[in-house]
Amino acid sequence: MPNPEFEGIGRQIKAALMKAGGPDLVQEVYVHKVHTGETQLTHIHHRQSPMTLMKGLADAGVTWQSEAIFQEETGNPITHVEIPATQNATAIYAAGVVKGAPHPQTAQAWVDFLKSPKAQAIFAHYGFKPYPEATDKSSILR
């Protein structure tokens, strides 16, 4: 399970658990089950979760949907599961050009590509949605 102390996805998972079951569920997963060893937190990177699954060391784990779909499509023994929006949290990814960037035209071209239909189709394939369609904005962590 991604560690919420240093993983953005860990904070997203904690928010989703809060939506799904309230503080008791968060306490059960992140305190009780960590203490008993039933939940193992990552200590390097969130990709430890799918690696743990692929090694057969766990039956289930939580990771970004895009990561699960990627692992599934590359033939790894992982099946992604959709989490209902009512129990999930939404993350926002952003891109921008850094002021004073040494190659601002190239940076802007990259940002423009990210907004293009081709890039949006790639993002959609991996479960990403454009920001205006992020539906329940109350679930966005700030």
> Is 50:76 a contact under the CB 8 Å cutoff?
yes
Q: Are residues 84 and 122 in the same domain?
A: no
Q: Are residues 68 and 80 in the same domain?
A: yes
Could you read off the pLDDT of 6-57 as tens digits, one per residue? 888 899 899 999 999 999 999 999 999 999 999 999 998 888 998 999 999 9
Expressed as residue numbers, the domain containing 6 is 1-89
Does this model's pTM top 0.85? My answer is no
> Is 13:5 a contact under the CB 8 Å cutoff?
no
Q: Are residues 134 and 108 in the same domain?
A: yes
Lowest mean pLDDT segment, chosen from 57-66, 95-104, 114-123, 132-141: 132-141
Taking alpha carbons only, the member of 77, 31, 92, 81 closest to residue 1 is 31
Q: Are residues 99 and 140 in the same domain?
A: yes
Q: CB burial class (10 A; 0-12, 13-18, 19+) of residue 128?
A: middle
